[in-house]
A = this chain, B = another copy of it.
């Protein structure tokens, strides 16, 4: 007969907290993750979480890190470095497409652990491309910055898409209509590409940008 029957099937742990946090983020985005809602899912009090996690920022970083660790297991193989970079970039694109909160949070993060999960493999391939040592940092961070920029934009669009009811085509259509209604003298370019916006493919344009940079590195 046990004396110390645990109150729950599994005791509270950092891992369980992070997993439930990710689940909550997936369900209702960043605003849906609160210590109260999280405590509810974990069947405990809000304060208990602080025993395993320093604060909300710590929790967000850990959640990003856990998700990225799983998402970025790309078979690097021994293809051309350019192909490896493309594969890596697309893996991140898809991960953020699936979890918009990831894009939103990544951008607020400094060059800490989760960011290094992207920078490191990117840099290894930049080196493999034969970029000279002194330029390796600038080139790798140019790639990282482009990737982050798209992530952000993607996450923001997904956010609005959700507010508008979810249909991506409806969202793009609405933006394109707004662009068409702009003042012709002040916004000639934006007006002229409203049509391209309506038909464009996020993922393809993203890859086109990557290729632009790759061509700039090794013309």
Contact = CB atoms under 8 A, between A and B. Distances in A.
Contacts of A136: 189, 192-193, 196
Contacts of A134: 196
Contacts of A216: 211-216
Interface string A133-150: 011111111101111111
Contacts of A211: 216
A188 interface: yes
Nearest to A191: B120
A205 to B, nearest CB: 4
Residue among A116, A215, A216 with the most chain B CB within 10 A? A216
B153 A148 contact: yes
A196 B123 CA distance: 13
Nearest to A144: B149
Contacts of A65: none
Interface residues of A, number: 60
Contact of A193 (B137, B205, B209): B137
B138 A209 contact: yes
A39 B158 CA distance: 33
A152 interface: yes
A133 to B, nearest CB: 8
A136 B192 CA distance: 10
A142 B136 CA distance: 21
Contact of A189 (B120, B205, B213): B120
Interface in A117-138: 119-120, 123-124, 126-127, 134-138
A89 to B, nearest CB: 12
A138 B213 CA distance: 13
